[in-house]
Amino acid sequence: MWSLVLKNAFRQKVRMALTLIGLVVAITAFGLLRTIVDAWYAGAEGTSSARLVTRNAISLNFPLPLNYAERIRGIEGVSDISWANWFGGIYITERNFFPQFAVDPDSYFRLYPEYRIEEAQWKDFKLDRTGAVVGRKLARTYGWKVGGVVPLRGTIYPGVYNFTVRAIYDGIDKKTDESQFFLHWAYLNEQSKKIPGFPRDRVGVFVVAVDQPDRAAEIASRIDTRFINTSAETRSETEKAFQLGFVAMTEAILIAVQIVSVVIIAIILAVMANTVAMTARERTSEYATLQALGFTPRFVASLIVAESLTIALTGGLAGVALTFPVANAFADAVGTLFPIFEVSRTTVLLQCLSAAGVGILSALFPAMGVARLKIVDGLRHVA
């Protein structure tokens, strides 16, 4: 049976080649789009349930007083606290975007054990107030080495700042963001004092560690209650919710990408269905002959389904294989826009299921038609 299926599937070589090309392109595009959606959510997926983020209740554009740190530390359930400011510098050109945070080294990296730094490099960073810690992916993207100088043109903080790369951190696993740039908060705070009218001793967010992750919502409420009716009220939420807040800003784009991925599968389904239908019409007399020889209508219909599945899975598997180099090329092209860009097992599974679904649905109506075919009508089709 399988010998017959393979011979029939590739009998019309040009038609099958074009159909396979369409399948490969569609499945590859579907996989790439799904990977883009996954990359958008990767920041939220890599967060910890034991960390909260506290910011100004109005907006991230409004800072919080540094002295809030000790008041938050005294709240029951809080085990540790740190803070960070967004720097927002430009490296050479605006296209070179990557996250830049001014942090308190000891407390911040204590809260993020997933960032691994060599002991010698860590000591060098702590001793150099203009030093920086950069992620492995970021360093690889721009060719930075330990000891090199990275000039950043400030947008929030006016002027040009020259930072020396003192350490390169590695992630504990593939879900860890290795595209961030960290500098000393104390140094940035000193520089802000030189800017007339610029707020001092202010932080963008507090990162709060909780002793019991299942009480995160309760502790977040306690923090916000502590600062209610103050000049700078707070909003505390889990780190994942904080990250998803940024994703929500581009939700319309994500929905559009997901719709396009489904439309691509629908288009190739139509192309594949047309190919299978044409093939079934051309071989009507052959199917009638098989039934005249004693083969059941069910067996003949199964030949059509098997042939369609063979074509669909061949193109689908080729598309899956092609997705990986295409995704790598795309990740290199966009640089640090997507810190984590990896084709997941779920995406591969969806690609395979989509290919199988296209194969089955394309053969459904032709197979039903052949199963109901009368031998006399089929043989008359020859004449």
The residue range of the domain holding 321 is 2-43+251-382
The rounded distance, in Å, linking the Cα atoms of 79 and 86 is 24
- Residues 191 and 286 grouped into a single domain: no
User: What tokens appear for 376 in the block?
Assistant: 């006399």
Give the pLDDT confidence of 142-152 residue by residue, as tens digits.
999 999 999 99
- Residues 67 and 138 grouped into a single domain: yes
- Residues 272 and 314 grouped into a single domain: yes
The region of weakest confidence among 15-29, 130-144, 326-340 is 326-340
The rounded distance, in Å, linking the Cα atoms of 179 and 100 is 9
* DSSP-derived secondary structure for 120-186: HHHHHHHH-TTEEEEEHHHHHHHT--TT-EEEEE-SSS-SEEEEEEEEEEEESSTTS----EEEEHH
- Residues 295 and 378 grouped into a single domain: yes
- Residues 28 and 65 grouped into a single domain: no
Give the pLDDT confidence of 151-190 residue by residue, as tens digits.
999 988 888 999 999 999 999 988 888 999 999 999 999 9
| Mean pLDDT of the 17-40 span | 91
> What is the pLDDT, as a whole number, of residue 377?
67
In a domain, 238, yes or no: no
Nearest of 259, 383, 358, 379 to residue 22 by alpha carbon: 358
In a domain, 7, yes or no: yes
Q: How many residues does the chain have?
A: 383
Amino acid at 23: L
The rounded distance, in Å, linking the Cα atoms of 180 and 96 is 12
- Residues 124 and 222 grouped into a single domain: yes
Count of C-beta atoms within a 10 Å radius of residue 152: 22
The rounded distance, in Å, linking the Cα atoms of 158 and 90 is 11
pTM strictly above 0.75: yes
Reduced to 3 states (helix: H, G, I; strand: E, B; else coil), residue 237 is: strand
The rounded distance, in Å, linking the Cα atoms of 52 and 219 is 9
Separation of first and last alpha carbons in the chain = 27
In a domain, 34, yes or no: yes
- Residues 327 and 273 grouped into a single domain: yes
Give the pLDDT confidence of 251-309 residue by residue, as tens digits.
788 888 889 999 999 999 888 888 888 887 777 777 777 778 888 888 878 888 888 88
Give the pLDDT confidence of 185-225 residue by residue, as tens digits.
999 999 988 888 788 889 999 999 999 999 999 999 999 99
Q: Is the pLDDT of residue 367 over 90?
A: no
The total domain count for the chain is 2
- Residues 71 and 191 grouped into a single domain: yes
The rounded distance, in Å, linking the Cα atoms of 171 and 115 is 5
- Residues 362 and 261 grouped into a single domain: yes
Q: Domain boundary residue among 186, 205, 232? A: 232
> What is the pLDDT, as a whole number, of residue 378?
60
In a domain, 243, yes or no: no
Count of C-beta atoms within a 10 Å radius of residue 65: 16
Average pLDDT, the chain: 89
* DSSP-derived secondary structure for 239-279: HHHHHHHHHHHTHHHHHHHHHHHHHHHHHHHHHHHHHHHHH
Q: Domain boundary residue among 204, 232, 260? A: 232
Q: Domain boundary residue among 171, 199, 232? A: 232
The rounded distance, in Å, linking the Cα atoms of 181 and 111 is 16
Give the pLDDT confidence of 322-355 residue by residue, as tens digits.
999 999 999 888 877 787 888 999 999 999 999 9
In a domain, 106, yes or no: yes
- Residues 273 and 141 grouped into a single domain: no
| Mean pLDDT of the 44-68 span | 89
- Residues 142 and 222 grouped into a single domain: yes
The rounded distance, in Å, linking the Cα atoms of 271 and 23 is 9
In sequence order, the 6+-apart residues with CB closer than 8 A to the CB of 162 are 130, 149, 150, 151, 152
User: What tokens appear for 144 in the block?
Assistant: 């930075």
Strand bridging mode 131-135 / 160-171: parallel
> What is the pLDDT, as a whole number, of residue 383?
40
Give the pLDDT confidence of 104-132 residue by residue, as tens digits.
999 999 999 999 999 999 999 999 999 99
The rounded distance, in Å, linking the Cα atoms of 79 and 72 is 10
- Residues 140 and 63 grouped into a single domain: yes
Question: Nearest 5°: phi and psi at 356?
Answer: -65, -40
